[in-house]
Structures are given as C-alpha cells and as structure tokens.
C-alpha cells in the first residue's frame, strides 16, 4: 500500500483518512485473529492433548485439525443464531 503517491492527499507525505481507516481496520483484524487463535488453542489443547507425550501423535494432530474446523463452524452457528433470530 503506497500512501506517498496517493493523488487524493494534498502533500505527498501525509496519511489520507482512508489510509488511516485501513491501518486501524488492519490492526483490529490482527488483534481479533490473535485472540481467536488463542481461544482455539486452549479449547483444542483441552480436547485433543489429554496426556502430553514426547511429541504430538497422529491421532492428536488429526483431532486438532478437526477441532479447529469445528470451532470455526461453531462460531458461524452462534453468529447466525444471534443475528438471524429465533426460527
């Protein structure tokens, strides 16, 4: 993203409002992603790594993969239930 040759900004070194908005949005999205990963990590560690060994076994790895997919799916289900209202 090149904000130095943005024709809509007066001076070539100023940040436009749109640039600022984009930067803030990116920052928020990054923080959201970090929190999400932290939560998924906790949940899936709890479900899938019940007796930590000297390495992650095959069944633990596939459990973790499925767990991540399911958690993402669960987020969608909750989201939909909250905003589509009762059926």
The Cα–Cα gap between 1 and 3 comes to 6
From 12, 20, 23, 57, residue interacting with other proteins (rule: CB under 8 A): 20
Site string for other proteins, 25-54 (x = CB under 8 A): x--x---x--xx--x---xx--xx------
The Cα–Cα gap between 33 and 30 comes to 5
User: According to the binding rule CB under 8 A, does residue 23 interact with other proteins?
Assistant: no
The Cα–Cα gap between 23 and 21 comes to 5
- Going from the C-alpha of 58 to that of each of 6, 48, 50, the distances in angstroms are 51, 11, 14
Residue 44 near residue 64 (C-beta atoms within 8 A) = yes
User: According to the binding rule CB under 8 A, does residue 21 interact with other proteins?
Assistant: yes
Q: State the number of binding residues for other proteins (CB under 8 A).
A: 34
Question: Interface residues with other proteins (CB under 8 A)?
Answer: 9, 14-17, 20-21, 24-25, 28, 32, 35-36, 39, 43-44, 47-48, 63, 66-67, 69-71, 73-75, 77-82, 86
């Amino acid at each position: 993203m090149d904000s130095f040759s943005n024709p809509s900004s007066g001076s070539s070194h100023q940040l436009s409002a749109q640039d600022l908005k984009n930067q803030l949005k990116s920052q928020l999205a990054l923080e959201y992603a970090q929190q999400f990963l932290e939560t998924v990590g906790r949940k899936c560690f709890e479900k899938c790594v019940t007796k930590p060994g000297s390495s992650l076994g095959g069944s633990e790895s596939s459990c973790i993969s499925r767990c991540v997919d399911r958690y993402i799916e669960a987020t969608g289900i909750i989201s939909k239930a909250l905003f589509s209202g009762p059926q």
